[in-house]
Structure 1
Amino acid sequence: MRVTAYRFSMWTRISAILLIFAILAPLCGCEAKSPKSQSVEFFTMDTVMELTAYGKNAGTALHAAQAEIIRLDRLLSISDPESEIYRANRDGFAELSGDTAALVRESLALYELTGGAFDITVYPLMDAWGFYSDEYRLPSDEERARLAGLVGSDRLALEGDALTLPEPGMGIDLGGIAKGYASDRAAETLADNGVASALISLGGNIVALGSKPDGMPWRVAIRDPLDENAFSGIVRVTDTAVVTSGGYERCFELDGKSYHHILDPATGLPARNGLISVTIICESGILADGLSTALYVMGEEKALAFWRAHLELFDAVLVTDDGRVLVTSGIAEAFSSERDFEVVR
C-alpha cells in the first residue's frame, strides 16, 4: 500500500501570485499617483497570510489586524490544548467566548441553510482519514458507518455561550469557516484604524476592503484547478470577499487513487459530485467561506439550484471536472477569462 500526501504547498505560491496580480497589475501606469502600500506576511491557521493596506495609518492598522487573526486562531484551533475548541472536543462541553460562540452559531445557521452540506461535526471523520495527523488512511465502510452516528450539527447544543457535544467521540472543526470569520474581523480592524483601501489574503480567502487607491475595483484572479500556473478567470470587486475551495488544496494518493479533504458529511467520503473548484463572491467572508465548501459538496446541479434560490446572498464561479467554467449571472459582467465560460441564469 503506497500513500503519497499532497498538502498543496503550491497554494502558498499561488496565493502570492494572486496577490501580486491583484495589487500590481491594475496599478500599472499610475504608480506615481497611488499612495504607497504596506504589507505584513505571517503563518497561522495552517496557511500563509498576507495583508496589504494603503494610507498613513496602514502600518499600525496592519499589525492590529494581524494580532486579531492570531487571537482568533488561539481560540479556534483544534490542536492547541489551550483553545476553546480543543477543550470542547476533549471534554464534550465548553463555555465559549463571544467570538467562538458567534462562529458556532453562524456554523449552525449555515448547516440549516445548506441542508447539512456544511457541517462542522465532520471532525471524527476527518480524524479517521488522517487529515489531522497526516497519517493518511482509507477508513472501512464499517468505520465510516459507525462514525456517521457522531455527525450532524443539529445534535449540538448551544445555550447562551455554553456548547455541549452530546455523544462521546463527537468533535467540531471550524476550519471550513474560521478564515472567513478572521478575514471579516481583519477588514473591520483595518477600517476601524482608518484604512479605506486594503487587500486581505488568508490562503484561498480574499477580502477586498474598499477599492484600489485610484478608485478602481480590485482584480482578483481565480486559480485554475487543472493548471497550477494558470487562472480560470479574473473578477473585479470592491468591498467583497472572494473565497475558493478545491480538492487540490489538500489531498493524498493511496494505491494510485487520489483522496481530498472536503468530505461529504452524508457519506464520510471525499465529495465527488462533478465540481473541482468553487469560488464564492459576496460581501461576507464568513458566508463565502462556508458556502464554498457547501457547494463543493452539493455538486453542480444542487449548487446551481441553491444559488437560484438565494440570488440575493452570493455569486459563484464553478469549475467542473470536465473543465467547464460556470459563472453566475450576478457577477458575469465583472468576470473575464481567456477561456470559454458559461453564464448561468
Structure 2
Amino acid sequence: MHHVEHVMGTVVSIDLADELPPAVLETMIGDACQWLHEVDRRFSTYRDDSEVSRFRRRELTLEECSPDMRHVLEACADLWRETDGYFDAYAAGPLDPSGYVKGWSVEIASARLAEAGSVRHCVNAGGDIRVRGLAASGKPWRVGIRHPWEADKLSWVLSVTDCAVATSGTYERGDHVVNPRSGKPARGLRSVTVVGPDLAIADAYATAALAMGEPGIGWLAKLVPDGYESAAVTEDGRAFSTAGLPAAV
C-alpha cells in the first residue's frame, strides 16, 4: 500500500509491503500520519502557537515543556557537543531544532508502524528515509540519491534494509545550512548522505558535515565504527564514499 501525505513543509510517502488486510494497513498509515501532524503542530517554527514558538518567546519554561520537547532539546545539545558545535539548533539565531525533528519524527513513525505489526515498510520525508524489512519485491529497498546538479539523474543507488538514509544538500533549498563558526552559509560540499541505524542521528550528522565543508568528509569517515556510512559530493564535483556504503550492484 502506498500513501502520500503533505506535512512538515514536505511530502511524506509511506509504503507498506506487509501482507496484511487493507483495512489494517490503512489504520497503520493513519496513525503514522496523525503522529507526523502532531509533531508539525508542536515543533513548527512557522506556527505562532507551536510549542517551539512559545518556548522561543519564553512563554514556557523548560519544566513546563512536554517530554518530547525536552528530549529534542537534550538531543540537540548532545549533538552540538558531539559535532564540535557544527550541529547547532541556534546557528541561524533563534532556536530551530528542525534539523533534528524531521528525522526523529520519521524514526518514531517507523517505530510506531513496527509496533502495530508492519515489519516491511519505507517512510520517506523529503529524502529522509527509514526502511524496515524487505520491499514488495522480496529484495532490499532501493533508494536513489539525487544528483546535486541534474535533478533527473542519481549519484548513487543504495540497497538497504532495517536502516535510515538521510541526505542534506544545497541544491534544493539553497544556503539553508549555516556554518556556526563563521555565521555564513556552508561552503565546500554540495551534498552529504549518511546511512545508519537511527534517522534522527543520521540526519543531524549529514547537516553537521555539510556545515563543516570539505573537512566534513574526514569527520564522517570516523563514524563508521558506530555504524554510519556516508557519501558526499563537493562543490567542484568530486565524489567520496566510505567503503561500507550499501550501494546497489
| TM-score scaled by length of structure 2 | 0.92
In structure 1, the partner of 2:49 is: 82
The superposition leaves residues 263-287 of structure 1 with CA deviations (integer Å, 9 ceiling, x where unpaired) of: 1111111111x21000010010100
1:335 and 2:241 matched: no
Say whether the 8 Å CA contact 2:217–2:232 is kept in structure 1: no
In structure 2, the partner of 1:220 is: 143
In structure 2, the partner of 1:248 is: 171
Q: How far, CA to CA, are the matches of 1:275 and 1:208 in structure 2?
A: 26
1:40 and 2:3 matched: yes
In structure 2, the partner of 1:100 is: 69
One-letter code aligned to 1:329: A
In structure 1, the partner of 2:180 is: 265
Say whether the 8 Å CA contact 1:61–1:190 is kept in structure 2: yes
1:312 and 2:229 matched: no
Aligned-partner SS, 1:120: coil
In structure 1, the partner of 2:35 is: 68
Stretches of structure 1 that go unaligned for 5 or more consecutive residues are: 1-37, 125-170, 252-259, 338-345
Q: Percent of aligned positions with the same letter in both sequences?
A: 32
Say whether the 8 Å CA contact 2:223–2:229 is kept in structure 1: no
One-letter code aligned to 1:105: E
1:118 and 2:87 matched: yes
The superposition leaves residues 72-118 of structure 1 with CA deviations (integer Å, 9 ceiling, x where unpaired) of: 11111112122110001112743211111111111111100000000
Shift of 1:230: 0.3
Closer, same or farther: CA 301–123 of 1 in aligned 2, 3 Å: closer
Pairing of 1:1-345 with structure 2 (within 5 A): 38-55=1-18, 56=20, 57-91=24-58, 93-94=60-61, 95-124=64-93, 171-251=94-174, 260-272=175-187, 274-308=188-222, 311-331=225-245, 334-336=246-248
Q: How far, CA to CA, are the matches of 2:72 and 2:131 in structure 1?
A: 21
Aligned-partner SS, 2:244: helix
The superposition leaves residues 218-246 of structure 1 with CA deviations (integer Å, 9 ceiling, x where unpaired) of: 11000000111100010111011111100
Q: How far, CA to CA, are the matches of 1:310 and 1:231 in structure 2?
A: 23
Q: Give runs of ≥4 in structure 1 deviating > 3 Å.
A: none
Shift of 1:301: 2.7
Q: How far, CA to CA, are the matches of 1:92 and 1:121 in structure 2?
A: 18
Higher relative CO (CA 8 A, sep ≥ 6), structure 1 or 2? 1
Compare 88-97 and 287-296 and name the one that shifted more. Answer: 88-97
Say whether the 8 Å CA contact 1:247–1:261 is kept in structure 2: yes
Specify the structure having the higher radius of gyration (Cα). 1
Q: How far, CA to CA, are the matches of 1:303 and 1:188 in structure 2?
A: 30
Matched residues, number: 243
User: Aligned-pair RMSD on alpha carbons?
Assistant: 1.6
Q: How far, CA to CA, are the matches of 1:79 and 1:270 in structure 2?
A: 21
Q: How far, CA to CA, are the matches of 1:183 and 1:237 in structure 2?
A: 17
Shift of 1:120: 0.2
The superposition leaves residues 103-143 of structure 1 with CA deviations (integer Å, 9 ceiling, x where unpaired) of: 1111111100000000001242xxxxxxxxxxxxxxxxxxx
Aligned-partner SS, 1:330: coil
Compare 241-250 and 88-97 and name the one that shifted more. Answer: 88-97
In structure 2, the partner of 1:149 is: none
Q: How far, CA to CA, are the matches of 2:201 and 2:238 in structure 1?
A: 24
Q: How far, CA to CA, are the matches of 2:113 and 2:223 in structure 1?
A: 33
Closer, same or farther: CA 120–92 of 1 in aligned 2, 3 Å: farther
One-letter code aligned to 2:218: L
Q: How far, CA to CA, are the matches of 1:329 and 1:303 in structure 2?
A: 13
Aligned-partner SS, 1:51: strand
Q: How far, CA to CA, are the matches of 2:223 and 2:5 in structure 1?
A: 38
Say whether the 8 Å CA contact 1:244–1:277 is kept in structure 2: yes
Aligned-partner SS, 2:13: strand
Stretches of structure 2 that go unaligned for 5 or more consecutive residues are: none
Q: How far, CA to CA, are the matches of 1:200 and 1:309 in structure 2?
A: 24
| TM-score scaled by length of structure 1 | 0.67
One-letter code aligned to 2:35: E
